[in-house]
Structure 1
């Protein structure tokens, strides 16, 4: 019984420590447009769902709009759109590209990665496959601490800009799911050299 209590206490303290680390990254590396460092390689837009008609969901639209603002301020030279590309009928990256080009993004400055099946994959591939060393990340505030933590742990000098521009459906569910993902990715980035096969 004593060992069980000790184990449970260890698990609780470990989880709290992990959340504390993410909180530190949130305070230190999430900034607004005026505070963003200048002359970064790229802004990374992390994918989200698309609608049956092929357009981005509201969360994704706002991530793209935020990235376009950063690009048009001249802070970064390229825009990396990363998400899931299954086939012609479901492609987050082509939906993202079609949407963001309305904001005066030069097509030559858009990079597509259709293997961004999850946050870890997206960030890992930006470093490993695309050789990105300095990046700004555009995603929702609840999502940014994990994305930034992954990036900095694998050697990407990353800052985050929150893309929350409105109220979103099912946000309470997303935040709960994010807590589990934070624990998973903490162990993944520290104790695994996972690479997704192409």
Structure 2
């Protein structure tokens, strides 16, 4: 005979353990990367390359993605202040009709960034891919990650685990109502990232090396 009470007890115990694990992982990642994250242009050390993490320009057909807008603004500020000399855009180009790097490149150029100072990584399908490809394909031992704080923390944690000396600059964040779903996904993405590190997951694609100069 099935013991319903026991099943319910085990289910809620499992849920509690999962929630606790997610909380511990998130707290650990935030605390272990805090000394490498900057919010002020005047305080961040200069680096040769800024790694701009891609995202979609639009949430829907008629609504701009503020995460995208603020990342572009942050990259432009870093470049024009002289804190980076080149921008490596790493994003998803999974189909002919979806190309994050090219879209971001166009908007950077509209904001005065010279084309010869922009490099594109079309295989940045995940943050892990973006960070490791910056190192393995583009030969970067150090760089400045450009994204929102929650994303920068995950990117820096990955870099640290692979011996890459990265720092990060926080793009402006969005309010909690606008970004609630993204923040929730981030909690799960961090947990998946820890599993990827445990199982030694590598980028989906590597390929020929590209020198940034």
| Structure 2: segments with no counterpart, 5+ residues | 1-5, 207-213
> Is 1:34 the equivalent of 2:42?
yes
Q: Structure 1 residues 122 and 11, CA, compared in 2 at 3 Å: closer, same or farther? A: same
Which of 47, 51, 57 matches 2:65?
57
Cα distance, 1:193 vs structure 2? 4.0
Please state whether the residue corresponding to 1:48 is helix, strand or coil.
coil
Structure showing greater Rg: 2
TM-score, structure 2 length as denominator?
0.79
Distance (whole Å) between structure 1 residues aligned to residue 174 and residue 73 of structure 2: 12
Cα distance, 1:13 vs structure 2? 5.9
Who is 1:46 aligned against?
A: 53
Who is 1:112 aligned against?
A: 120
Distance (whole Å) between structure 2 residues aligned to residue 173 and residue 196 of structure 1: 26
Cα distance, 1:56 vs structure 2? 6.7
Distance (whole Å) between structure 2 residues aligned to residue 20 and residue 50 of structure 1: 29
Which of 105, 108, 111 matches 1:103?
111
After TM superposition, the runs of 4+ consecutive aligned structure 1 residues lying more than 6 A away are 52-56
1:103-142 superposed matches below 5 A? 103-142=111-150
Distance (whole Å) between structure 2 residues aligned to residue 150 and residue 116 of structure 1: 14
Which of 183, 192, 197 matches 1:184?
192
CA contact (8 A) 2:148 2:173 kept: no
| Structure 1: segments with no counterpart, 5+ residues | none
Please state whether the residue corresponding to 2:29 is helix, strand or coil.
helix
1:154-165 superposed matches below 5 A? 154-164=162-172
Distance (whole Å) between structure 1 residues aligned to residue 52 and residue 140 of structure 2: 14
Who is 1:146 aligned against?
A: 154
Give the structure with the higher percent strand: 1
TM-score, structure 1 length as denominator?
0.84
CA contact (8 A) 2:128 2:155 kept: yes
Q: Structure 1 residues 74 and 54, CA, compared in 2 at 3 Å: closer, same or farther? A: farther
Number of positions where the alignment pairs a residue of Structure 1 with one of Structure 2: 194
